Chain A
C-alpha cells in the first residue's frame, strides 16, 4: 500500500486556503496521548483517507471536552474547557463532528448545546456503519475474520447514555466473524470501571476490581477478540487481560482497528 498517502489536515490549514471540511474528527485526549489509543486514531484516519472523506482535525487547538472534570464534580474546570472549545469550534464554523471517544461524544452532543455549542455529533461506530453501508469502506480485502469469535463490550456512554447498541454490532457483522454476546450486554452491559472519573483515581476498597469482573465475563464467551469502542474501556480491558495473563491468546481492538485490518490498511 505504498502508493496510498495519508493526509491529516488541520482546521487551521483548511481555513488558510478558505476551505472547510465535511466533518471534524475530534481526536480526544486518549486518542492524542495514550500510546495504545493513538493506534486507533491512526486506524480511523487511514479509513477516512481511504474513503475519501474531506475531514480535518484541530491538532494542538483541541482541548479536553471536560468530561472527567464534570463527572468528578468540578463544574468550573468543565465549563472553562467547554467554553474554550466552543469558541474554537465556532471560530472555524464547525457543523459536524465525529469522534472515537464515547465520553467526548456524549459531552459534545448532549452537554455543549446548553453552553451555546450546537453541532451534529457522531460516534465513530455510527460513522463506520455508514461508510460500510455506502460501500466506501470494504471489509473483504484485508485480514480474514471468518471463523473468528468476537465479543463486543458495550461502553456505558455509548449504550445506556445514548442508546447506541446496534451500530457497533453492525460494524462487526461486516467482518463476517462469529459475533458472540456476553451475558450482560446492551442495556445490561457491565461498566469497565473507568467512567465517572474512576480512570483517574484508585478504586474504593472492595473485593474485586470492576475490570476483572468484566474481563472474566468476556473470557467466558470463548472469544479470541474483544472489541471495544471507547479509549477508557480499552485501557481497562487491556489491564484486565494482562491480569489474567491471556494477552497472547485474546486480543483487544477498537472497531476502527478491526475495520482497518479488514480493509488491508
Chain B
C-alpha cells in the first residue's frame, strides 16, 4: 500500500512539474515578444523598491485592514511552503513527518506556527469571499465593471475557496494525526499536541483507528494534490501575481511618473527637418510602425505588467474617466493585454513556437479606441497599483499608433495639432499676440 502511494506521488509530482514548466516557458516566450527596454540600471534602488513594495507589501497598507488580511495570506503562502517541503519529502520517500525526529521538541512548535498561519489564511480568505459576494465591494462587481464578468469573477472566488479548503485540510490532517498518535499507532511519530488542531480532536473521538488512518491519508492527499492543482492553476489565473510581483516591482520604471518615453526614431527625422542634421546615406530608416498596435509593439515590461495584474481594480476605482462612467478602465487595459498574450501563446503552441499573424490586434479587437481616448493621463492608476503596473504607458503607446500611424484622431485634436504647427499654440491665436498680456502692465510703467 505504502509503495503504491509513493509511486503515485512521484508520478503526480513529476507531471505537475512538467506542466508548470511548460506553462512558464510559454509565458516567458510571450513576454519576450515585447520590445527591448533596459531595466537593469540602478540595481540598488531597484532592489530597495522590490523589498519595500513586493516583499514588504508597502502599498497594500494604503488600506490598513485589507493590508493586514493580505499580509496573512502572503505570509501563509510563503511560510507554509516550508512545510510543503516536508510533505513532498514524506511523499517521495514514503516516510511520515520526516522532520519530527530532526527537530525534536521544537517540531510541535514549528507545526503550531504553521497552524496559526493556516487559521489566519482561512479567516482572511473568508473575509475576502464575503467582500466579493456579500458586501459587494464595488470595484470587484461585474455589474459595474464589464471586464469582471465571467471567468475573472469566477477565478477570484475559486482561488479563495481553494485556499479555504486547503487550510481546512491541513488542520484536519493534523488533528487526525494527533488522535492516531494518542492511540499509539506505530506509523504516526509521537510529536506532542499541535496548538490549533487539538481543538478539532474531539470530532474524531468515536472514529475507529483504520477509519482515522483513511481520514488522515485523505486529508494529506487532498492537501498536497490541492497544492499541485494550485501550482498549475496559478499559471492560468490572475494569481500569477504571487510570483511576478517580485520581478515586476524590481523592473518598474524609476523616472518621474509624468515623463513620457521618448521616440528616438522621430527625433532623427525632426532634426533633419529643422536642418540640425544632414540626411545620411539614402532615406533614413523609417520604423515599420509608430506607437503600438499589438503586443509585439509594446515593451517586455508592459507585457510582464499584464501577467502580474491580479485584477484588484484599485486603478479603475481611482480612474477619473471610469468614475464618471466612461468606457476606459485601466484594469481592463491590463486584462485585455493579457488576453491577447494568452491568445498569441496558443497560436505559438500550435505552430511550433512561432507567432503567425491572426489578423487581430490589441487596439481594435481587444481595447477600443473610445477607451484610450478617454484617458486624462492623470497617473492615478499608476499611483494606485500595489505591484507597480503602468497601464498609462500602454494607453499612450496605443494612442501614438492611432494618431501617427493610422492618422486617426478626433477632429478637435487635429485642429489643435494644426494650431500647434502653424501658431505654436493649441488655440487659434497669432504668435505675434503672445506677449499682449503684458501691455496692461507696461502702461502702468509709463
A interface with B by C-beta (< 8 Å): 5-8, 10, 27, 29, 31-33, 38, 41-42, 45-46, 57, 59-60, 62-64, 66, 68-77, 79-81, 83-84, 87, 106, 109-111, 114-115, 156-157, 160-163, 187-188, 190-191, 193-210, 212-214
Contact = CB atoms under 8 A, between A and B. Distances in A.
Nearest to A41: B437
A57 to B, nearest CB: 7
20 contacts: A5-B445, A8-B441, A32-B436, A33-B427, A45-B441, A62-B434, A64-B420, A71-B260, A72-B413, A76-B269, A160-B378, A161-B379, A162-B256, A188-B380, A191-B376, A198-B376, A200-B415, A204-B327, A205-B370, A210-B323
B420 A81 contact: yes
Contact of A29 (B399, B417, B426, B435): B426
B274 A84 contact: yes
Contact of A188 (B291, B318, B370, B434): B318
Given A70-B260, A71-B396, A32 B425 contact: yes
Contact of A76 (B270, B376, B436): B270
The 6 A-B residue pairs whose C-beta atoms are closest, nearest first, are: A161-B258, A196-B377, A207-B325, A73-B403, A206-B325, A63-B424
B229 interface: no
Contacts of B403: 72-74
Contacts of B256: 106, 109-110, 161-163
Contacts of B270: 76, 79-80, 83
A162 B383 CA distance: 12
Contacts of B426: 29, 64, 68, 199-200
A81 B270 CA distance: 10
A110 B263 CA distance: 14
Contact of B416 (A59, A60, A69, A193): A69
A128 to B, nearest CB: 19
Nearest to B421: A77
A194 B437 CA distance: 23
Given A29-B427, A73-B396, A195-B378, 19 more contacts: A5-B444, A7-B445, A32-B429, A45-B441, A60-B432, A64-B424, A68-B420, A72-B409, A75-B290, A76-B404, A79-B266, A115-B267, A161-B256, A190-B320, A194-B376, A201-B373, A203-B374, A204-B374, A210-B323
A60 B376 contact: no
Most chain A CB atoms below 10 A, which of B258, B271, B324? B258
A75 B400 contact: yes
A124 to B, nearest CB: 15
A242 B410 CA distance: 27
Nearest to B273: A80
B435 to A, nearest CB: 4
A117 to B, nearest CB: 12
Contact of B378 (A29, A72, A156): A156
Nearest to A105: B258
Contacts of A41: 437
A204 B274 CA distance: 36
Interface residues of B, number: 72
B276 A60 contact: no
B417 A69 contact: yes
B280 interface: no
Contact of A160 (B290, B382, B434): B382
Contacts of B273: 80
B375 interface: yes
> DSSP class of B's interface residues: helix, strand, loop or mixed?
helix
A83 B271 contact: yes
B442 interface: yes
A87 B271 CA distance: 11
A79 B376 contact: no
B281 interface: no
B197 to A, nearest CB: 43
B362 interface: no
A60 B434 contact: yes
A213 B320 contact: yes
A115 B262 contact: yes
Contact of A33 (B260, B326, B378, B434): B434
A29 to B, nearest CB: 4
Nearest to A79: B270
A111 B321 contact: no
A64 B424 CA distance: 6
A202 to B, nearest CB: 7
Contacts of A208: 324-325
A92 to B, nearest CB: 16
A27 to B, nearest CB: 7
Interface string B347-374: 0000000000000000000000010011
B420 A69 contact: yes
A254 to B, nearest CB: 14
B126 to A, nearest CB: 29
Interface string B89-100: 000000000000
Contact of B399 (A72, A109, A190, A191): A72
Given A79-B267, A160-B380, A204 B370 contact: yes
B380 A191 contact: yes
B266 A42 contact: no
Nearest to A156: B378
Contacts of B417: 69, 72, 74, 77
B377 A6 contact: no
